[in-house]
Amino acid sequence: MEIDPYPSVIPYGRQWIDESDIAAVVETLRSDFVAQGPKVAAFEAALREVTGAGYAVAVSSGTAALHLSCLALGLGPGDCGIVPAITFAATANCLRYVGAEVAFCDVDPRSGLASPERFSEVLRRRPEAKVLLPVSYSGSVPDLASLSKLAKEAGAFVIEDAAHSIGASYGEGTPSGACEHSDAAILSFHPVKHVCAGEGGAVLTNDASLARRVRTLRSHGIEPREDWSYDQGELGYHYRMTDLQAALGLSQLSRLPEFIARRRELAKRYQNAFCEEPFVSRIQIATEDEQSSRHLFVIHFRNEQERRAAYAFFHRHNVRVQVHYMPVYRHSYYEGSESRLCSGAEAFYATCLSLPLYPLLKDEEQEYVIQCLRAFLES
């Protein structure tokens, strides 16, 4: 089947900035505050309302949120954390930032999620592990209730990497980020995520002392006093969010229900299209989770060679599909990791491909993506 390249590039993800977002940032530019100020506090309050978490601390990035969570929980040299092999590198790097070791656990070869059983396998080998970092991959949340029970039995913390899953839920409708089954959860506001703040992140928790420590650490470890003076009680970082970022994030957050509804609509259209030939016998949808916030729409091919050929075919036709992710232990920095062979992660990585999915994706663009995949499968 022949098909012409699309006249413009269709990315796998992108932000949707409208006039209300621009107006919000301009209003802040004209205010007395452009660095950390009242908009950051308002954004944090809105995050608490959306997620149900007791505390929200806005920071400069999702990576900073991970780093501060590890610091605030007291993790350091001699400690070990368990991270799913399929995730962005930052989930593992945050442990190395504090001098802790990383042990990788396997994932389901279809969904990319790490189950409690996979974490338990590593815990049996590394019983000294102090923290589990489950990842809510592609917008779907793992079994946090069971993971929380496992962590309590092991005397470990749980940090939910919820960078993909604001607006998602799990179990009986618990919101991702509510911290009902975790000590902390982190969010990211990178442009390809559900809520864009240019950059930015947040730490969510129900622990008042943990939230206070994160607030202190995000600003050099400094605590203000009642008068003009202040005191640096420990070594912190410059991980503050600006009011400019918060103004954009706050405006975007007000549109989150619209964003999630559109993502789910697009995901359903993919699912319906792929129920017929040639799709049904050649590809597999990674997940059909109805509670997912649909950060990504991932499909699997029959083997790595077919996935590589599909990736090249899409790119020749101006569809910028992507692969999420190569197992973290394959990066040269982590070479020699004890978890070099995670069969589920290897199988997932070998065959996965992320199709374009973002609220601004037009119906005709999505239809072209579907037809492009059909053309590849029939070629």
Dump the DSSP string for 149-164: HHHHHHT-EEEEE-TT
- pLDDT number for residue 320: 98
pLDDT digits (tens, 9 = 90+) for 161-195: 999 999 999 999 999 999 999 999 999 999 999 99
DSSP symbol at 226? S
- With H, G, I as helix, E, B as strand and everything else as coil, classify residue 198: coil
- With H, G, I as helix, E, B as strand and everything else as coil, classify residue 249: helix
- Please, what are the domains in the chain? 19-253 (3.40.640.10), 256-378 (3.90.1150.10)
- pLDDT number for residue 90: 98
| Peptide bond connecting 278 to the previous residue in cis, omega within 30 degrees of 0 | yes
pLDDT digits (tens, 9 = 90+) for 59-97: 999 999 999 999 999 999 999 999 999 999 999 999 999
- pLDDT number for residue 340: 61
The segments of the chain whose pLDDT lies below 70 read 337-340
Give 2-27 as a 3 state SS string: CCCCCCCCEECCCCCCCHHHHHHHHH
pLDDT digits (tens, 9 = 90+) for 4-40: 999 999 999 999 999 999 999 999 999 999 999 999 9
Question: ∠ CA(36), CA(49), CA(289), 5° rounding?
Answer: 115
Beta carbons of 302 and 351 less than 8 angstroms apart:
yes
User: By C-alpha distance, which of 187, 165, 163 is closest to 174?
Assistant: 165
Q: What is the overall mean pLDDT for the chain? A: 96
- pLDDT number for residue 337: 67
